[in-house]
Copies of this chain bind each other. A is one copy, B any other.
Amino acid sequence: MTEPGPPTIEFWFEFASTYSYPAAFAVEEAAHKRGIAVAWRAFLLGPVFAAQGWRDSPFNLFPAKGRYMWRDLERLCATQGLPLRRPSRFPRGSVLAARIACRFADAPWLPGFVRAVYAANFAEDRDIGDPAVIGDLLDRQGAGPDTLAAAQADDAKALLRAQTDQAMALGIFGAPSFLARGELFWGGDRLDAALNWVADPLLPPAA
């Protein structure tokens, strides 16, 4: 028998998602403090939104929601001491970064890479859809020189498609989301509730 691993929380994120930025910087520290491991689960919101009939971010489609989000993000980043520069283009292409995060989910450099991509997108206004930008971030995290090519191979593409399908099967409809003992929590402000759930589920599983 293998040893059981530590209790784990799944962090479901999309690199173009604004609210995933402060969450990506908070999740590991908050989880580790409580002896909980983080499983990094990149996925794409595009197919999720398309299933709801949306061809763009709801923050672009619904202006009041968008205006609120940018201000709210400013407040959240200030609370966490994170820099924020509103990207000159939103949303940015996130497919390449997501393929890497999916294909190398367990690499030791992955959490640092995830945070670096978010910082590039939301603090430095760099184009995270550009392979040169992503290659630079991989180098800085000490990922191997073949990483970028591996992430563009067919098996990596299939992995991300499957993980996005899994997100939808889990009922995920936005990012960030957390999965704790099979329970879904949506929104960075539910991180504590999700971590609480790992240790102490409040209710029996939903029917």
Cα distance, A48 to B182, chains bound together (Å): 34
Neighbouring B residues of A174 by C-beta, 8 Å: 65
Given contacts A62-B52, A75-B193, A190-B189, contact A68 B203 (CB under 8 A): no
Q: Are A64 and B173 in contact (CB under 8 A)?
A: yes
Least CB distance from A121 to B in Å reads 21
Interface string of A53-81 (1 = CB under 8 A from B): 00000000010110110011011001100
Q: Are A202 and B78 in contact (CB under 8 A)?
A: yes
**Does A149 reach chain B (CB closer than 8 Å)?**
no
**Does A6 reach chain B (CB closer than 8 Å)?**
no
Q: How large is the interface on A (under 10, 10 to 19, 20 to 34, 35 or more residues)?
A: 20 to 34
Neighbouring B residues of A52 by C-beta, 8 Å: 62, 64
Q: List 21 A-B contacts (CB under 8 A).
A: A52-B62, A52-B64, A62-B173, A64-B171, A64-B173, A65-B173, A65-B174, A67-B171, A68-B171, A68-B184, A68-B186, A71-B183, A72-B185, A72-B186, A74-B203, A75-B183, A75-B193, A75-B202, A78-B203, A79-B202, A189-B190
